[in-house]
Structure 1
Amino acid sequence: MDTLDCMRTFAAVAAQRSFTAGARQVGISTKLASKYVARLEERLDAQLLHRTTRSVTLTDTGQAYLERCIALLDQFEELEDVVQQRQQQLVGPIRITAPTGLGSRELVQALQPFQTAHPDVRIELVLSDQHISILEEGVDLAVRFGTLKDSSLVARKLTDMPVVVAASPNYLAAHGEPKEPHALSTHNCLLMTASSQPEVWTFSQGRRQIAVTVTGDFRANSPRAVVNMAALGRGIGRVPEYAARPFLESGELKQLFADRGTVNMPLYAVYPPNRHLTTRIRALIDHLAGAFGG
């Protein structure tokens, strides 16, 4: 049992104040996390944590050890990075979370050449249309749309993702085609709850922007669900262009207001404000910025 593994586990459990959440952060079972911390306490001949059925808190000795433990772990990460930089070889795991639609195709396409160039980097991709907690889930990097809501995280903009407004020919034949964005208020609009303001659709008109408040009887946290419902003729959807593209090409959907321009949706790489961001994660963020920005 490696002492560094025990130290990493102890630091995660202490930060999360929970064996379950700490174990999840380092990617092991709760039982193994408990074993690692117990082994560390045995080796040090000191109690580091107070354990109850509801919480985990640091002892005075544990608090003092944690401060030095984190510093040592950071130095060890830096030491590994120095070696990797000299070898020009990236090694180790990266855990990423992303929206299901973007992650299953566009992000995978962006990741493939990175892994080809760095075969010793192991990527775990966790797809979810909910914003999972980066710290609690032990995620190294999140790829997310929209404004950053959690001020404790760091974000780097990757690109502005094109957005389209579209409806099926059947819907437009039955309800009429809106000629101006403000006419959307009289239509059934399909709302994507993954965006920060699903009921407000923004358009560019020359140098200014106009915001239109819309309503509808269907909403989903996935752009794929919204675009499929639009293709079935239920209403008008506003989704990232990559999700609508196959339906636009097949004629199942028609793009609206193509000459007006919808305001694009920013895409960010989001990560915890660690004291030390590993070389492999920095390299991946740079790669994604080039892949999406290009």
Structure 2
Amino acid sequence: MRTFAAVAAQHSFTSGARRLGISTKLASKQVRQLEEQLGAQLLNRTTRSVSLTETGRAYFERCVPLLDQFDELEGLVQERQSELAGPIRLTAPTGFGSLELVNAIRPFQLAHPKVSLDMHLSDQHVAIVEEGIDIAVRFGALKDSSLVARKLMDMRMVVVAAPDYLARHGRPSDAYGLATHNCLIQKTSATPQDWLFRIGGKQVLVHVDGSFHANSPRALTHMAIGGLGIARCPHYAVAPFIASGELELLFPELEVTTMALYAVYPPGRHLTARIRALIDHLAETFR
């Protein structure tokens, strides 16, 4: 049933099998055995795609809640045990996930060695329901209001530059002066070239431009360290380099923008003990 649901959600035996960590051949065999057991065809198969039959759609709509109930039952049992166990599928942005999130999760894994974590790092938006993701760690405004979100922290957005760049091009006297500098642009916001500051008690947008654009704050950070220009990044990406003197903080008194970090999960899904424990751990760590 789980294999059928994964294949149906992905419209592909290959993608469905990958989601479950099994071979495509085994996924095909299991779905075929389910159809034989039910005496009904659930999927239409072609060389390019897989689609649900009318019977298959009705079965899919009813089996997904049943699978959630099995997960809930498993969670109830685990809550009575001293040890958490089982898989958790997690997705996060590449830069934040590869260091800060890994560091946050490490104590959880050491404390719960029977929990297996499958982390998918991507700077692209991952459809967590379709991909079978248990938790997505995401920055910024949530695009999908149907998902459940728990806020983990607010992250400062800071403006930085290398001492070498400031020595060569001069230090902007105020935020408006950024318009005459080469600014490094992070493309993940709706208006990446409009930087928000608090000036004279009001929120003011300063339009900037520059020769380097990227969707990764770590890419901007390393370009800034190399002296290419002035960057605006989440604080986590630049904090070690501010501490080492490789980057200088500009206009900290004018900062107004923060970026919220959330743990996001699908609605209507009972959180098993291990998933709830990981979310609680992340909330406490980032708090």
Which residue pairs with 1:218 in the alignment?
A: 212
Matched, 1:24 2:29: no
Tell whether 2:186 aligns with 1:186.
no
Q: Secondary structure of 1:89's match?
A: coil
Q: Distance in 2 between matches of 1:223 and 1:244?
A: 9
Cα gap change, 1:127/1:237 in structure 2, threshold over 3 Å: closer, same or farther? same
TM-score by length of 1: 0.89
Relative to structure 1, the CA distance from residue 160 to residue 254 in structure 2 (aligned partners, 3 Å threshold; closer, same or farther) is same
For residues 93 and 163 of structure 1, what CA distance do their matches in structure 2 show? 34
Gaps in structure 1 of 5+ consecutive residues:
1-6
Distance in 1, matches of 2:54 and 2:118, equals 36
Cα distance between partner residues in 2 of 1:114 and 1:257: 37
In structure 2, C-alpha distance between the alignment counterparts of 1:206 and 1:223, rounded to whole Å: 29
Residues 1:124 and 2:91 aligned together = no
Equivalent in 35, 41, 52 of residue 46 of structure 2: 52
- TM-aligned CA deviation for residue 206 of structure 1: 7.1
Residue equivalent to 1:177 = 171
Counterpart check, 1:200 vs 2:194: yes
Query: Equivalents in 2 of 1:21, 1:41: separation in Å?
Result: 20
Given the alignment, which residue of 28, 32, 36 partners 2:30? 36
Q: Deviation of residue 176 (structure 1)?
A: 1.7
Moved more, 53-62 or 78-87: 53-62
DSSP 3-state at the match of 1:239: strand
- Cα distance in 2, alignment partners of residues 115 and 167 from structure 1: 37
Counting only pairs closer than 5 Å after superposition, residues 55-204 of structure 1 correspond to structure 2 as 55-204=49-198
Give CA-to-partner distance per residue, 1:86-116, whole Å, 9 cap, x none: 1243211111122222112211121122122
* 2-structure distance, mates of 1:248, 1:163: 14
Assess, with a 3 A threshold, how the Cα gap between structure 1 residues 190 and 44 changes in structure 2: closer, same or farther: same
CA contact (8 A) 1:93 1:122 kept: yes
**Aligned-pair Cα RMSD in Å:** 2.0
* Distance of 2:238 and 2:33 partners within structure 1: 54
Q: Aligned pair 1:229/2:223, yes or no? A: yes
Q: Which amino acid letter does the alignment assign opposite residue 118 of structure 1?
A: H
**Residues of 1 paired with 2:147 and 2:14: CA distance?**
22
Q: Please report the TM-score for the alignment, with normalisation by the length of structure 2.
A: 0.91
User: Is the CA contact (8 Å cut-off) linking 2:149 and 2:264 kept in structure 1?
Assistant: yes
Consecutive unaligned residues of structure 2, counting only runs of 5 or more, are none
Residue 216 of structure 1 deviates from its aligned partner by: 0.9
In the alignment, the residues of structure 2 paired with residue 250 and residue 268 of structure 1 have an alpha-carbon distance, to the nearest angstrom, of 29
2:110 and 2:10 mapped to 1: Cα distance? Answer: 35
Q: Distance in 2 between matches of 1:26 and 1:72?
A: 17
Using the alignment, how far apart are the partners of 2:254 and 2:33 within structure 1?
A: 64
Q: 1:274: Cα distance to partner?
A: 4.5
CA contact (8 A) 1:204 1:263 kept: no
Residues 17-69 of structure 1 show CA distances to partners (whole Å, capped at 9, x for unaligned) of 32233223323333322121011112223211122234323233323332332
Q: Distance in 1 between matches of 2:167 and 2:121?
A: 37
Residues 1:120 and 1:208: Cα distance change in structure 2 (over 3 Å): farther
Are 1:9 and 1:33, in contact at CA under 8 Å, matched by a contact in 2?
yes
Deviation at 1:170, TM superposition (A): 1.9
Q: Aligned to 1:256, which of 250, 253, 259?
A: 250
Distance in 1 of aligned mates of 2:269 and 2:95: 32
- 3-state SS of paired residue (1:135): helix
Q: Give CA-to-partner distance per residue, 1:140-159, whole Å, 9 cap, x none.
A: 22212111123343322211
Deviation by residue 1:137-189 (Cα, 9 ceiling, x = unmatched): 33222212111123343322211012221111221122221122122111111
| d(CA) in 2 for partners of 1:74, 1:243 | 37
**What SS does structure 1 have at the residue aligned with 2:159?**
strand
Of all paired residues, the percent bearing the same amino acid is 64
CA shift at 1:235, angstroms? 0.5
Deviates more, 1:132-141 or 1:69-78: 132-141
The answer on whether the counterparts of 1:25 and 1:139 sit within 8 Å (CA) in structure 2 is no
CA distance in 2, matches of 1:206, 1:267: 28
CA contact under 8 A between 1:129 and 1:194: conserved in structure 2? no
> Does 40-49 or 182-191 show the bigger shift?
40-49
With 17-26 and 213-222 compared, the bigger mean Cα shift is at: 17-26
